[in-house]
Amino acid sequence: MIKISKIEYYLPQSVLTNDDLEKLFPEWSSERIHEKVGISQRHISSDNETVLDMAVKSSEKIFENYDRSKVDFILFCTQSPDYFLPTTACLLQDRLKLRKNIGAIDFNLGCSGFVYGLAFAKGLISAGIAKSILLVTSETYSKHIHPEDKGNRSIFGDASASVIVEKAENSRDYQFCLGTDGGGAENLIVKKGAFKKDFELNPEHEFNPENIYMNGPEIFNFTIENIPGLVKETLMVNGMDMDDIDHFVFHQANSFMLNYLRKKTKIPADKFYIDMEKTGNTVSATIPIALKNMMDKGILKEGDKILMAGFGVGYSWGATVMEM
C-alpha cells in the first residue's frame, strides 16, 4: 500500500569517540564501551545546531533528485524541538521552500517514532489526504544529557533522517502492530522542561531534572518482555512466517540488547541487521539510517521484505512489514 521512495540522512560534524569518553571518564576503557554497547563513536550537534537545522540538511539531500513540489504533507518526529510552538514541521516547510497548500505536523515520539510515522503516512495516503509525504525523524538527545552522565553519553548520538513515503501500486497492504504502556514512563524521562511543576525526582536520578533519566535495566526488561511478541504478532497479522522475511531491522538501541533479542526471537543472524557502531543510538532515526546504509551497501534488493520494529520511551512500540 505504501513504499519508501527516497531515504537520506545527516550526521553532525562533531564526533565523540570512545577514546574521548575514556579521557573524560578514566575508569572506563574505549574497548569496554565498544564491547558493551557496540558503538565506537557518535555524532553530536553543536550548541547552535537544532533538529530543524539537521532536518533541512537531510531533506535537501532528498531534493537533489526528487521534485520538492510533489510533497504535500510533512510529518516531523522529534522530542527535542526548536520551540514549544510553533510546530517544527511548519518551520521546515518554510526553510525548504515547499508549497504552502500542504499539511505539516510534529509528533513527539522516540525510538518507535519511525514506525509510527509510517503508520500515519499510510493513513493519510489511504484517506486520499496526501500522495507524497516527507517523513522526518530528527533528534538531539545530546542536549538532554548531563555532561557527567557517562552511561547515556556512550549510547546516544544526534542525527536526522528524511524519507519520502508514497503509494505503492504493486505491493501488498501490510498491517501495523502498535503498542503503548504509559506505566513505564518514569524509566525514560526528562522531568523538567514543560509545564508540570509538582514532579518528584527518582532517588536514583543522579543529575538535574532537566536532564534525561534512563533506567537501563527496566528498559531492557520492557524490551525483552514485549518485542518478541511484537514480532510474532506482526508476522501473524500479515499471514507470514520467519522464512517470508528477508531482513529484520530493529531500532538500533545497543548491540547487547539487539543480540539478546535476536536469539530470544530466533531470528537467523544473516537476516538481522545491526548498524550503530559509527552513529550510536540516534533514537527515531536509527531505522531509516540503517535502511539507507543497507541500500548503499547493496544488501537490499528490489522486492525484499523487511520487518521493522521500533520500541522505547513511552513506553511505546510498533512494527510492520514493507517491500523495497
**Would you name the residues annotated as active-site residues?**
111, 251, 281
φ and ψ at residue 314, rounded to 5 degrees: 145, -60
Residue 162 and residue 8 in contact, taking contact as beta carbons nearer than 8 Å = yes
First to last CA, the chain: 12
CA-CA distance, 88 to 226, in Å (whole number)?
32
C-alpha cell at 171: 505491493
CA-CA distance, 62 to 5, in Å (whole number)?
10
Q: Other CB atoms closer than 10 Å to residue 129's CB: what's the count?
A: 12
What does the buried/exposed string (b/e) look like for 191-219 if buried means 16 or more CB atoms within 10 Å of the residue's CB?
beeeeeeeeeeeeebeeeeebbbbbeeeb
Nearest alpha-carbon partner for 79 in 214, 172, 215: 214
Question: Could you say which DSSP state residue 18 is in?
Answer: H
Q: Other CB atoms closer than 10 Å to residue 148's CB: what's the count?
A: 11
